[in-house]
Amino acid sequence: MKILVLNGSPKKKSDTFRLTEAFLRGMNKDREHDVRVINVIEKAVAPCRGCFACWRNQDGHCVIHDDQNDILDLYRASDVIIWSFPLYCYAMPSHLKAVLDRTIPLVKMNMVQEADGTVRHEALADFSEMHTLVICGCGFPDWEGNFDGLRAMCDVCFGHPDMVCVPEAPLLNVPAAEAVAEPLLARFEQAGREYASSLRLSAETVAELERPMIPKDDYIQNVNGGGQP
């Protein structure tokens, strides 16, 4: 199975990417997969110009000559796409959003209406067997009100993907928090093994992965300098 990981953190070893690494270890537990990680911050990906030349050409490529076309080639060839990134202003970081914006060469201008009435652009190729997973961490202590906008965007862009949104992610790189961080990483590894076998995550598994590591009040106190986690 070919797995493409789009790491949207500006840091290679970010809090969120520690979760993704654990997840990948789990996916490779029973069978070694072909995993390609792209650190998007290192790539030259300009903003979309809105010229729609890609829709005229319909060759799956963008007319801007930068790193995006290589990403599109890998994207089309992958069985699983993992979008891994920290939450920035309730969405994904701008350099990763540029990658998403410039996936429009993968669809046509033609519109199709689905059974539920939703109108979408027709895909340039058959992506029905492609699976998308979103892993996002944030520095807030809870889920509510922080990931709502991101989930709405991902539901529309990726067709209701499996999505794991983790609060308190900075604890993953705090040595004093190892006692609570390591069990979460172990749960992510087990979740990766589950995903590799079924290409789905159960609601119960997602709930376990999204459970805060420490109580909200304790987390806020530590972030504000009132103690050690």
The predicted structure's pLDDT at residue 222: 87
pLDDT category of residue 35 using cuts at 50, 70 and 90: very high
Contacts of 112 (CB under 8 A, 6+ apart): 119, 120, 121, 122
CA distance 28 to 38: 18
pLDDT tens profile 115-150: 888 888 898 888 888 999 999 999 999 888 899 999
The predicted structure's pLDDT at residue 125: 84
Relative to beta strand 107-113, strand 119-123 is antiparallel
Domains of the chain and CATH, by start? 2-223 (3.40.50.360)
Average pLDDT, integer, range 174-190 = 95
pLDDT tens profile 190-205: 999 999 999 999 999 9
Q: 227 pLDDT exceeds 70?
A: no
Are 75 and 62 in contact by the 8 Å Cβ rule? The answer is: no
- How large a percentage of the chain has pLDDT more than 70? 98
CA distance 115 to 74: 30
The predicted structure's pLDDT at residue 229: 47
Q: 228 pLDDT exceeds 70?
A: no
pLDDT tens profile 38-73: 999 999 999 999 999 999 999 999 999 999 999 999
- The rounded mean pLDDT for the chain is 94
pLDDT category of residue 169 using cuts at 50, 70 and 90: very high
For Cα atoms 191, 195, 199, give the angle at the middle one, nearest 5 degrees.
160
* Model confidence, pTM: 0.94
The predicted structure's pLDDT at residue 127: 85
Q: 173 pLDDT exceeds 70?
A: yes
Are 188 and 137 in contact by the 8 Å Cβ rule? The answer is: no
* DSSP sequence for the chain: -EEEEEE--SSTT-HHHHHHHHHHHHHTSSS--EEEEEEGGGS--PPP----HHHHH-SS--SS-STHHHHHHHHHH-SEEEEEEE-BTTB--HHHHHHHHTTGGGEEEEEEE-TTS-EEEEESS--TT-EEEEEEE-SSS-STTTSHHHHHHHHHHHTS-EEEEETTGGGGG-GGGHHHHHHHHHHHHHHHHHHHHHS---HHHHHHHTS-SS-HHHHHHHHTTSS--
